[in-house]
Amino acid sequence: MNQQPSNRPLTPAAGRPSDSRRETRPEGNRPPSDINSRPKKIIVAIDGHSSCGKSTMAKDLARAVGYIYVDSGAMYRAITLYAMRHGLFKDGRLDEAGLEALLPEARITFVRDEATGLPRTFLNGEDVEDAIRGLDVSSHVSPVATLPAVRAALTRMQQEMGRGRGIVMDGRDIGTAVFPDAELKVFVTASAEVRAQRRYDELQAKGQPAAFDDILRNVRERDYIDSHRAVAPLRQAPDALLLDNSHMTIDQQRAWLLERFREKTKSSDN
């Protein structure tokens, strides 16, 4: 099961350094003698293109092996929603200085949903999990994610969450910039059409329908911007395993990832 404490923040405010290690890592104070009797915990970094099912894979693995799961994309989405609500997009352009100034006030936390066992994203105490998944936020997130100040703040928070290892994190730069020393790195991709169809189905199921062509355009645009930005561009780490899941079922990719995890933890057992 996911080990996040319920109703307690998992992450500190975006702009402030964290002092919440004890809160996020209740097991962090284990005596050294314990270390030799347990398999070593690793970091699993899952990166890849938009809408290719990274989060599903990452959540499934975390649940199966009892690791913490962190969706780094949700953090970029939450900051984007924050910028939108503060009117920082003017004529489609982001007021970068305005966002940088307000960043220390944006507090992103994850709270475990007791019904599903999965984390929900909160922005300054408000549950924004549904609000951040719509096409509106998807269409504004890439410029926010290119901002060095935003990346620096979120990367710092993500590294803090992974300090005790035992974490599965998915995103764009987890294996390259956030945890270059992750023991297991996977780079996931699928064709743009397959990915757009998956996102379309997901939004339909949630009652947030959008036109397929708009979604496909957004998928392609984000891929382009994510891969071409100056800071932490989307890139396969040299030591990452490539997974094209265009023709795989969720069960097949779940089994594939679990097998890779077992290989890594077997060889790193003490």
Q: Could you write out the three-class secondary structure of 203-252?
A: HHHCCCCCCHHHHHHHHHHHHHHHHHCCCCCCCCCCCCEEEECCCCCHHH
Specify the residue, 50 or 253, whose C-beta has the smaller distance to ligand CDP.
Answer: 50
In angstroms, give the least distance from the CB of 50 to ligand CDP.
3
Specify the residue, 111 or 188, whose C-beta has the smaller distance to ligand CDP.
Answer: 188
In angstroms, give the least distance from the CB of 42 to ligand CDP.
19
Specify the residue, 72 or 109, whose C-beta has the smaller distance to ligand CDP.
Answer: 72
Specify the residue, 2 or 142, whose C-beta has the smaller distance to ligand CDP.
Answer: 142
Long-range contacts, 200-203 (Cβ 8 Å, 24+): 203/133, 203/134, 203/135
In angstroms, give the least distance from the CB of 138 to ligand CDP.
7
Output the CA angle 140-160-173, nearest 5 degrees. Answer: 45
Reading the block at residue 180, the tokens are 């270059």
Task: Answer yes or no: are the C-beta atoms of 183 and 266 closer than 8 Å.
Answer: no
CA 51 to chain centre: 12
In angstroms, give the least distance from the CB of 131 to ligand CDP.
13
In angstroms, give the least distance from the CB of 228 to ligand CDP.
11
Q: CA–CA separation, 127 vs 110, rounded Å?
A: 9
Q: Could you count the other beta carbons within 10 Å of the beta carbon of residue 98?
A: 15
In angstroms, give the least distance from the CB of 225 to ligand CDP.
7
Residues in touch with ligand CDP (CB under 6 A): 50-51, 54, 72-73, 76-77, 141-142, 145, 171-174, 222, 226
Specify the residue, 42 or 58, whose C-beta has the smaller distance to ligand CDP.
Answer: 58
Specify the residue, 173 or 183, whose C-beta has the smaller distance to ligand CDP.
Answer: 173
Provide the residue type at 251 as one letter: D
Q: CA–CA separation, 181 vs 43, rounded Å?
A: 8
Q: Which residue is nearest to ligand CDP (CB)?
A: 73
Reading the block at residue 64, the tokens are 């199966």
Helix, strand, coil abundance in the chain, percent, nearest 5: 50, 15, 35
Specify the residue, 76 or 122, whose C-beta has the smaller distance to ligand CDP.
Answer: 76
Reading the block at residue 75, the tokens are 């953090």
